[in-house]
Amino acid sequence: MRTFRYTLFLCIASLVADHRLNAADRADNWPHWRGPDATGASSTANPPIKWDADTNIKWKVALPGRGSATPIVWDDQVFIATAIKTDRVASADELPKINPNLPVKTDRPKNFFQFVIISYDRATGKERWRKVAAEKVPHEGYHPSHSYAAASPTTDGKFLYVSFGSRGIYCYDLGGNLIWQRDLGRLETRFAFGEAATPVVHGDSLLLNWDHEEDSALICLNARTGEAKWKVPRDEKSSWNTPLVVEHQGRTQVVVNGTKRVRSYDLENGSLLWEHGGMTMNAIPSAVTAGGIAYVMSGYSGSLGIAVPLGLRGDLTANDKVLWRIKQGTPYVPSPLLMGDRLYFTLANNASLTILDIKTGKALVDRERLSGLTSFYSSPVGAAGRVYLADQKGTTLVIRAGDHLDVLATNRLNDPIDACPAVVGRQLFLRGERNLYCIEEK
């Protein structure tokens, strides 16, 4: 009995140590498009405050194809996803069949595209490996501001997970070797505007938001094999937000935004835990969490932000136990940044910033205009007591985190930016329309 107890103790101690090591590894990397804790913030990074095309650029590389997926970073590698248009034109037989029942506002492509994942050396920017996950003719076009590579890769430090949506889900090791791939069928997005939901890995589960115009679902795959664990139908149309996975009181929840409702599911089996109605159309912002509260926003053709205690259950739409609700100033495309006890977010896609107290829902800065900026698709990120906001024309504003709008620097690159910045160590990574930049103070 004593030997058994000692062995059990060693096993538990080993698991705790592995968990702590994994948490430390995540904190020192950028494994997910919203950072190590899916909040948009890093607790360890200290990137530069100032740069331009000639200052503090450690390296830059020209990117092939087109994409707006955020770069992710693990150890000495930087990963990006992109879609490269080829010169190969499809024959009539090779063109995908279209769904005549859905309205379309984009042009259908006729060329084959390569759907590609690339690893760059973090120290030099040199390409380490490149894999063509698929070469296909997309069945629909995309919004002028969009691309065929908008979903960011994600990693658990052992494997790299990439979703090209209708073109498949892929798992590689960090050396670029394919471990598995899955075809989950075709997404039919609103007006054929395109796909963009990043996968999320948690333990041995891989979560995918599969919201579209037909048969929406939340899908959970086995992260090691790609086999289905469960699939839950969702009464939703197209949305482009990334699921949030959060542990609370011994249960792991998966929070997914939506036009009709934000919902939380049990990771174990997909059962519904709580829901809140009243979100707006085109739910794009991803939820963030801290201290047992989920903060969820949407801001297209309306506005709603809510703070939901994760211990609540059932339909919370009219529940007075929700911590707070706001009905103005919320973001459309960008997700909010959660840093300390403050939320930072834009008004729709506009260059207007709100800073909110997460405990009270009170606006400390209320939709204040950001001078010199235009509009945002990129989400704000935070590190070292600073907030970084990259606008669509390539200008990044750096402000001091706090209760006032205190501008530290305005940094311009002649390269449009839609992807979210990534901050790791002393470096900041920006994906422009044409180039990938590693910014580090010299």
Q: Which fold has domain 69-195?
A: Thrombin, subunit H (2.40.10)
Would you state the pLDDT for residue 197?
86
Task: Judge whether 334 and 285 are in contact, CB under 8 Å.
Answer: yes
Instruction: Report the distance separating Cα 247 and Cα 251, nearest Å.
Output: 6
* Cα separations in angstroms, 1 against 11, 130, 164, 248, 288: 15, 53, 52, 33, 45
Q: Which two tokens stand for residue 156?
A: 């658990």
A 10 A CB-CB count for 332 gives: 24
Is 160's pLDDT higher than 70?
yes
Burial class (CB in 10 A: 0-12, 13-18, 19+), 410: middle
Would you state the pLDDT for residue 134?
98
Confidence of residue 112 (pLDDT cuts 50, 70, 90): very high
pLDDT digits (tens, 9 = 90+) for 346-405: 999 999 999 999 999 999 999 999 999 999 999 999 999 999 999 999 999 999 999 999
Is 40's pLDDT higher than 90?
yes
Looking at the chain, how many residues does it have?
442
Domain boundaries defined on the chain: 69-195
pLDDT digits (tens, 9 = 90+) for 175-204: 999 999 999 999 999 999 999 989 999 999
Would you state the pLDDT for residue 26?
82
A 10 A CB-CB count for 161 gives: 23
Would you state the pLDDT for residue 23?
66
Instruction: Report the distance separating Cα 165 and Cα 67, nearest Å.
Output: 14
Is 423's pLDDT higher than 80?
yes
Average pLDDT value for residue range 42-64: 97
Average pLDDT, the chain: 94
Would you state the pLDDT for residue 62?
98
pLDDT digits (tens, 9 = 90+) for 301-359: 999 999 999 999 999 999 999 999 999 999 999 999 999 999 999 999 999 999 999 99
123-127 long-range Cβ contacts below 8 angstroms, 24+ apart: 123/76, 124/59, 125/58, 125/59, 125/60, 125/61, 125/436, 125/438, 126/61, 127/61
Stretch (H or E) spanning 58: strand 57-62
pLDDT digits (tens, 9 = 90+) for 425-436: 999 999 999 999
pLDDT digits (tens, 9 = 90+) for 70-108: 999 999 999 999 999 999 999 999 999 989 999 999 999
Is 18's pLDDT higher than 60?
no
Task: Judge whether 200 and 245 are in contact, CB under 8 Å.
Answer: yes
Would you state the pLDDT for residue 15?
43
Q: Nearest to residue 118, comparing CAs of 128, 108, 107? A: 128
Task: Judge whether 41 and 339 are in contact, CB under 8 Å.
Answer: yes
Q: Nearest to residue 108, comparing CAs of 121, 126, 123, 95? A: 95
Burial class (CB in 10 A: 0-12, 13-18, 19+), 221: buried
Confidence of residue 24 (pLDDT cuts 50, 70, 90): low
Strands 41-42 and 381-383: parallel
Would you state the pLDDT for residue 22?
67
Instruction: Report the distance separating Cα 259 and Cα 266, nearest Å.
Output: 20
